[in-house]
Chain A
């Protein structure tokens, strides 16, 4: 299985309404794409993402998502600037559970464990 990672800029996301953004994410994930968004979703958007995921789950093809928000550590000044501009600095990793097994936070890093159907002969190389 090929692994497709799409990086989505904050400019692309800014032009979408909240519903458009959630539908865009779910649409991509259902095509087996892992997205790295150049912004964090706010908690309400995250809840909407989970809710939409639950509505879209079907027993055969789509079992859900894994996602992780990586907040940008910023100063109070940055936070105020972000609040005024509405821009949420950080990253979000989101993808289908059939590809992402887990996303875990280490002391200095974030690890994403992906499932790849690599044939046994290739694994040995």
Chain B
């Protein structure tokens, strides 16, 4: 009940109090390309990257923040703080990391950090103004993790854009993401090549600010 009241209040305040700088959270499952996208935006507009990217799951295990990113959208300027979240997962098995050449101790440490990262990302849901939900368009989008992330944003009244990432990869199916979540705006991009990022900036300006 209190949560519903807070959501209504948040929506009303958003109408009257358009923020000049939005706190933009990057959410999604593990290995969807959140940090690649955050890096691409930060590199293009600030000349520096935010964090490491890797094919090893749970490379981002702490919330990473970069402030005052100003992006020109053609019709104006967009100011945002980018908050790159660890990927959301329902399981963390240290043995999976050992398949990437880590020894037992390294893998266990990474697993422990990964679980803390997931908790931190969930806690941060209360501190973001808007969210980009980054999904990998080469895999089935109808997963419980994606459904839970979107359900939580809807329940909290946080505006979102779904990013269908990795469209540069052969066999990617951004339309499958659109079919899975027809109630939300889906922007197909490639964070790796920068394809369609201009469309993304316009969408952020139009839908999230």
Contact = CB atoms under 8 A, between A and B. Distances in A.
Nearest to B117: A54
A53 B90 contact: yes
Interface residues of B, number: 26
Interface centre among B88, B108, B118, B140 (most CB of A within 10 A): B118
Interface stretch (B42-50, B71-79, B146-154, B198-206): B146-154
Nearest to A96: B91
Nearest to B123: A51
Contacts of B119: 51, 54-55
B94 A59 contact: yes
A55 B123 CA distance: 13
A3 interface: no
Contacts of A54: 92, 115-116, 118-119
A81 B177 CA distance: 31
Contacts of A104: 140
Interface in B90-119: 90-94, 108, 111-112, 115-116, 118-119
Interface of B: 3, 88-94, 108, 111-112, 115-116, 118-119, 122, 125, 140, 142, 144, 147-148, 151-152, 154-155
